[in-house]
Amino acid sequence: MTIKQRLADIQQQIQQIPHPQEVTVIAVTKYASDEVLSEVIDAPILNIAENRVDQLLERQTRYPQATWHLIGTLQTRKVKQVINHIDYFHALDRLSLAKEIQKRANKVIQCFVQVNVSQEATKHGLAVEEVVQFIEEIQKYDRIKVVGLMTMAPHTSNDAVIRQCFATLSALRDHIHQANYSHAPCQYLSMGMSQDYHIAIEEGATHIRLGTTLVGPQ
Ligand SMILES: *Cc1c(COP(=O)(O)O)cnc(C)c1O
């Protein structure tokens, strides 16, 4: 199947899920070849995510017309290389990183705060209870705008557990959104990957990050 066909299939599935919110499909091309990436652009899918700084920079130079999302942990020392070349950052998870972004950014950076809802030791992100305080602490950094929250569901085949994770993030987003922080409108929810995007959309996802099912080998 071509990327175009896979996208059409996914869009059809999304339409069958009851949801009031608009959903942006982000193609996660971290494992995709350059050939596949060019198919993605032609499909067209113009929201693209990478988790490695070098690969993002190289590809962003070739396709500046796309909207570029950086996902995955960002080392503080790499901030200055990449931060002014992306449209969205999905992994803001610590004060030291916020401070470095403030120092290196020459525009306002649209960030998702990453939350480790499931509290798995292998995952990055703030605990649910830490998020409000974190958002208040970064108010002083005027180069950071918190546009939403991001999470990854736990590794499990138990749909109820996955749903609970997404529902928790959604409630936290509502809470922050309603607080009306000028630096943190927090209107978006980046959650849902190939295996669980149906559940994520039902729970309010506005941005789903699809690797395997959209651009992976099949
Ligand atoms: C790799 C990755 C994805 C895509 O995962 P798939 O299961 O292949 O869809 C989404 N989000 C993050 C943060 C990733 O690292």
Smallest CA separation from ligand 1 atom 5, residue: 211
Q: Which residues pair with 146 in a beta bridge?
A: 111
Structure confidence by residue, pLDDT tens digits, 93-143: 999 999 999 999 999 999 999 999 988 877 899 999 999 999 999 999 999
Q: Which residues line ligand 1 (CB under 6 A)?
A: 28, 30, 51, 71-72, 152, 193-195, 209-213, 216
Find the 72 Cα to ligand 1 centroid distance in Å. Answer: 9
Residue 162, classed as helix, strand or coil, is helix
107 contacts: CB under 8 Å, gap ≥ 6: 84, 143
Q: What is the pLDDT of residue 92?
A: 98
Residue 189: its H or E element: strand 188-190
**Cis? peptide before 44, omega within 30° of 0:** yes
29, two tokens: 């091309």
d(CA 70, CA 111): 10
pLDDT class of 86 with cuts at 50, 70, 90: very high
Q: Which helix (H) or strand (E) element contains residue 210? A: strand 207-210
Average pLDDT, the chain: 97
Tell me how far the alpha carbon of residue 127 lies from the centroid of ligand 1, in angstroms. Answer: 20
Looking from the CA of residue 214, the nearest atom of ligand 1 is 9
Rounded to the nearest 10 degrees, how much is the dihedral formed by the CA atoms of 65, 109, 89, 129? -160
Nearest CA owner, ligand 1 atom 6: 211
pLDDT at 218 over 70: no
Q: What is the CA radius of gyration of the chain?
A: 17
Tokens of 112: 């998702």
Q: Where are the beta strands (DSSP E) in 40-120?
A: 47-50, 67-70, 88-92, 109-114
**87: Cβ contacts below 8 Å, ≥ 6 apart:** 67, 68, 69, 110
Specify the ligand 1 atom closest to the Cα of 31.
Answer: 1
CA 199 – CA 208 distance, rounded (Å): 11
Mean pLDDT value across residues 154-169: 96
Mean pLDDT computed over 43-49: 97
Residue 15 has pLDDT above 90, yes or no: yes
Q: What is the per-residue pLDDT across 173-196, written as a single tens digit (0 to 9) for each? A: 999 999 999 999 999 999 999 999
